[in-house]
A and B are shown apart, each in its own frame.
Chain A
């Protein structure tokens, strides 16, 4: 018996869950897949007075295409469902490539997309993906609903814009442009562990390989997933080639101010941040060139 005692509720629908959240406010923690909250409770780093288990809310478990091509995902959708989804595999290559990087299969069988976002671990892949794709989050409470863009959602180390009483219910990812060249990857101690450093690169080209759009997100190197605005600005409007790769790696490495911890020093993260940005930039550029030829 490891977690400290708590009151347990297992609501069967969203309204009931929102009512409980309203009633218990800051005393309550939401239990989704439990792959982050349960470790914290087992170690007693978290001692919620009330646990609201939302696993019966099957209404929050879906993957759908909107008319405009955007992807809407229910917050309780398990990472494994995304991994196996035909819809995702057919139309969203970056999402398809990112999900298997999330922990191990046993974790993805339970872990949910909403849980990962609400937990906001700075080394987690899904929040970084949302920041790179500029996803939006639908948040519900007994008082109503609001839409929060990812740039306003992640505030800092495991801190989000979610207020007590609010529940993340849906993730909206913008329509995937087939012209995107993309790459994602990370360096970790063991396959599936949290990233020591991870990066996502998205590139879109105009004629003559001029960069129309560049997005670079790094994770594991700060209090939250970070967009590398200096490097993105440098890339936009310029010609992209091998030399640009070196320059972008240098800019990213300079911009990073990571912390040291048990697993890696700040110097290591700074250096490797540049190295993997270079690697994924080259990969994304190749894909963007191919996409343009099609």
Chain B
């Protein structure tokens, strides 16, 4: 074991092999090594939620993981949400409801909501509020965000049933 390690991982369905410094966070790895800059880095100590990604389907803070810990895992970042020709229902709902202003927090909200709706496809407003409590939006756009997630829920549910 040393200060560098070789890792293989899948991000948004694509496989990558890299040699990384073991101290590199997963958030920095995604941005700086894979050029997937959709994952935003805010507080870098697990408070703001901007860097939320999915690790084997579960929402996690990528700033609190080391890249080396993602070896052999399947990741999804905001780049993996939309299809090439159309936005994901959550993204469309965010657009429709104007659930973003500066957009910095948006990738974290989208992935948090995505994982949440998989687990709870028919949420109440109170459950949505709780689900996004670990994500901070400093343009104070919470109400439209909550509305957008509630709007997207039935659309995602009907799509996933097809």
Interface residues of A (CB under 8 A from B): 1-10, 31, 34-35, 38-39, 42-43, 51, 53, 55, 80, 103-107, 109-110, 190-192
Q: Which residues of A contact B61 (CB under 8 A)?
A: 35, 106-107, 110
User: Which of A8, A42, A104 is close to B133, meaning CB atoms less than 8 Å apart?
Assistant: A104
Beta-carbon contact of B25 and A2 below 8 Å: yes
Which of B55, B63, B115, B116 meets A38, CB within 8 Å?
A: B63
- Could you list 19 examples of A-B contacts with CB < 8 Å? A2-B28, A7-B22, A8-B1, A8-B3, A8-B22, A8-B23, A34-B64, A43-B44, A53-B69, A104-B49, A104-B133, A105-B112, A105-B115, A106-B60, A107-B61, A107-B134, A109-B59, A109-B60, A191-B133
Asked whether any CB of chain A lies closer than 8 Å to the CB of B58, the reply is yes
The reply on B144 being an interface residue by CB < 8 A is no
B16 to chain A, nearest CB (A): 18
A-B contact count (CB 8 A): 99
Main secondary structure of the interface of A (DSSP, over half): loop
- A37 closest partner in B (C-beta): B64
- Chain B positions within 8 Å of A, measured between CB atoms, are 1-3, 5, 21-25, 28, 44-46, 49, 52, 55, 58-61, 63-66, 68-69, 112, 115-116, 129-131, 133-134
Given contacts A53-B69, A55-B69, contact A38 B59 (CB under 8 A): no
- The residue on A at minimum CB distance from B132 is A104
- The distance from the CB of B145 to the nearest CB of chain A, in whole angstroms, is 15
A39 touching B59, Cβ below 8 Å:
no
Closest A residue by C-beta to B21: A1
Contacts of B55 in A (CB 8 A): 109
B46–A39 contact, CB under 8 A?
A: yes
Question: A106 touching B44 by the CB < 8 A rule?
Answer: no
Minimum Cβ distance to chain A for residue B13 (Å): 21
Given A104-B133, A107-B134: A42 touches B59 (CB 8 Å cut-off): no
